[in-house]
Structure 1
Amino acid sequence: MSKRNLFLCFDAFGTLFRPAEPVAKQYADVARQFGLRVNDAQVTASFREAFKREAKVHPNYGKATGVQVIHNTLRPLVGPDQAIPDGLAPRLQHRFASDEGYTCVPQLPSLLQALKEPHPKKGFDKVVVGVITNSDDRVPDILASFGVRVSPLRYGTPIDRAKLAGAVYDIDLHCMSYDVGYEKPDKRVFSAAEELLREVTTQDATSSADVGASSWDKIYLGDDYDKDVLGALDSGWYALFLEGHEQPPRPMPLLVDQKGGSVSEAFIQHRALSVDSVQTAIDWLLGQR
């Protein structure tokens, strides 16, 4: 029996990485470095209001917001005659576009690389790894700052095929709501990822797999039940719910308790399963025949 193909996509924020400290606290720390007299509680309250206002004006996460959240957070906290220091916003922008502001899954690059390397137990012919996120265009840079080899293949961006041909990446594609124009759980975000998967398989001269064929197991792993689990299921994917961020509306079977000989057999009864970590999910996938 021929091996199957795996299309594994991750949520980004909260799944692959998360703030090293609360975002508002980091705002306050940097503001104090620039001489502003603010405390954490003040900045937290102002940040929540600024973020809520921007999300309402620009519901597609991050689109067209620029530095508005930063300015709208700090503006009410400085005196009427005091300007926000010129370098403060760029400093925060840099911080939240790199590993300076975040911490990632332990040993993330090596975990992702294990999915691509030959493995005696790995039951997949081809593995494509992607990111599907309700976030903005900082995600590829954040992941790259942790040492992850990130492909330039991104939905809505012209493709430089010379950079794809023969190259090996830990993450093969990025599909961000910032580019798609729709947010999870909208199935159009998952469809956009499938479009990119077609591009990846087109670049691979050794692969003739049809991305719509039943030979592909499509799995999405995220920490938000409504956006990640329900979005994946509605799009015809399998779903893995990352425990810890929130509780699902009902108890979910654990991935590690599924003893099927293949991914499709393991998910045959429950198309959505729970997992305690990204490493557990990858270890389990590597053990399937």
Structure 2
Amino acid sequence: MPHHRRRLVLTFDAFGTLFTPREPIGQSYADAARRHGLSGFTNDQIASTFRDAFKQKQNKAPNYGKQVGMGPPQWWSNVIHATFSPFNPSSILPPKLVSDLLHRFGSSEGYRLYEDVAPMFEELRRAKQLCAVEAAAPELTIGVITNSDDRVPSVLSSLGLEVSPRRYGLMVDSLDTHSDMEDDIDFVVMSYDVGDEKPSRDVFDAAKQLVRFNWGNPEQKDRFIHIGDDLEKDFEGAERAGWESVLLDRDGIHKVHGSQKSRALSVIRNLRELIPYLRIDQQGG
């Protein structure tokens, strides 16, 4: 039987963990609307109506419309219309407002990386290279697991990260011309593709399925660790799925209790705190 090296699979949440809006959502939406000739509202009012619209549409058409057969562009268009409807009696928005907002929040125009993200990925690149040549080290695979529609890979790419075309729901049999060493992120799992959202175990199981399909290691030899900023969706969801989990708590508001895995971090304030932890794993500890 062929010998399989242990694989260390690190996955990250996206929004709130790797990137965040460049400006408050209310400000971005309100400024865009003003550029298209709408008025009669404050940034705070738009922030409030956006929150209400987002919650209403998620309740009516969960998972960005997936559960009712709706595509994300139409779902977001409905959110945008509902956000401005209290200030727009005609219910007719300027023709390009929706497309402008969809474009903005599908790229670096609307988002920025947190300051600790780029240094962490620089270290992960070095770790991946070391793991590739050190026989005693586990193979390192980096993924993203996010409650999102299909714009996340393009957002991450526009923010300067190298993102593999691998994603759940697109089982590519061969990537012969593609080198994993070129990637910061080896795969992406989005809730829209899975059909369910974190903290559902199905989302984490989808990531394991994707890893097995693309890299073929027996599951029992792999170690899965998920890092995210949401206590319920990321930390507790991953633990219930049998993963190790790390809560990213940049503001220091959470206290985590319960079972902790050997040597596993439970709460970190900065993604750089993962770096010494990774160095232990590189040495096969």
TM over 0.5: yes
Letter aligned with residue 59 of structure 1: P
Residues 92 and 171 (structure 1), Cα distance of their counterparts in 2 relative to 1, 3 Å cut = same
Task: For 1:255-270, list aligned pairs within 5 A.
Answer: 265-267=262-264
Separation in structure 1 between the aligned mates of residue 64 and residue 224 of structure 2, nearest angstrom: 25
Q: Alignment partner for residue 179 of structure 1, among 175, 183, 193?
A: 193
How big is the shift at 1:122? 11
1:220 aligns with 2:226: yes
1:110 aligns with 2:122: yes
Letter aligned with residue 106 of structure 2: A
Residues 18 and 287 (structure 1), Cα distance of their counterparts in 2 relative to 1, 3 Å cut = same
1:282 aligns with 2:271: no
Letter aligned with residue 29 of structure 2: Y
Aligned residue for 2:156? 143
SS, match of residue 93 in structure 2:
coil
Aligned residue for 1:238? 244
Tell me, yes or no, if the aligned pair for 2:252 and 2:269 is still in contact at 8 Å.
no
Letter aligned with residue 94 of structure 2: P
Separation in structure 1 between the aligned mates of residue 177 and residue 37 of structure 2, nearest angstrom: 46
Tell me, yes or no, if the aligned pair for 2:26 and 2:45 is still in contact at 8 Å.
no
Residues 29 and 174 (structure 1), Cα distance of their counterparts in 2 relative to 1, 3 Å cut = same
Aligned residue for 2:42? 39
Residues 89 and 220 (structure 1), Cα distance of their counterparts in 2 relative to 1, 3 Å cut = same
Residues 252 and 235 (structure 1), Cα distance of their counterparts in 2 relative to 1, 3 Å cut = closer
Separation in structure 2 between the aligned mates of residue 75 and residue 265 of structure 1, nearest angstrom: 52
| Root mean square deviation of aligned Cα | 2.7
SS, match of residue 175 in structure 2:
helix
Letter aligned with residue 83 of structure 1: I
Letter aligned with residue 130 of structure 1: G
Q: Alignment partner for residue 188 of structure 1, among 184, 190, 202?
A: 202
How big is the shift at 1:42? 2.1
Separation in structure 1 between the aligned mates of residue 58 and residue 279 of structure 2, nearest angstrom: 39
How big is the shift at 1:227? 1.0
Separation in structure 1 between the aligned mates of residue 135 and residue 157 of structure 2, nearest angstrom: 26
How big is the shift at 1:250? 4.2
Separation in structure 2 between the aligned mates of residue 33 and residue 186 of structure 1, nearest angstrom: 40
SS, match of residue 130 in structure 1:
strand
How big is the shift at 1:25? 1.4
Separation in structure 1 between the aligned mates of residue 136 and residue 24 of structure 2, nearest angstrom: 40
1:247 aligns with 2:228: no
Letter aligned with residue 226 of structure 2: Y
How big is the shift at 1:251? 5.8
1:96 aligns with 2:105: yes
Residues 282 and 68 (structure 1), Cα distance of their counterparts in 2 relative to 1, 3 Å cut = farther
Instruction: Provide structure 2 residue ranges, at least 5 long, that are not aligned to the other structure.
Output: none
Tell me, yes or no, if the aligned pair for 1:62 and 1:135 is still in contact at 8 Å.
no
Residues 164 and 238 (structure 1), Cα distance of their counterparts in 2 relative to 1, 3 Å cut = farther
Residues 143 and 283 (structure 1), Cα distance of their counterparts in 2 relative to 1, 3 Å cut = farther
- What's the % identity of the aligned pairs? 38
TM-score after normalising by structure 1: 0.82
How big is the shift at 1:166? 3.6
Tell me, yes or no, if the aligned pair for 2:9 and 2:222 is still in contact at 8 Å.
yes
TM-score after normalising by structure 2: 0.83
Separation in structure 1 between the aligned mates of residue 212 and residue 56 of structure 2, nearest angstrom: 37
Aligned residue for 2:147? 134
Separation in structure 1 between the aligned mates of residue 80 and residue 239 of structure 2, nearest angstrom: 36
Aligned residue for 1:152? 165
Deviations 1:47-100 (A, max 9, x none): 1221111011122245331411111112321243x7311111111111101111
Letter aligned with residue 140 of structure 2: V
Letter aligned with residue 191 of structure 1: D
SS, match of residue 42 in structure 1:
helix
Q: Alignment partner for residue 125 of structure 1, among 128, 131, 138?
A: 138
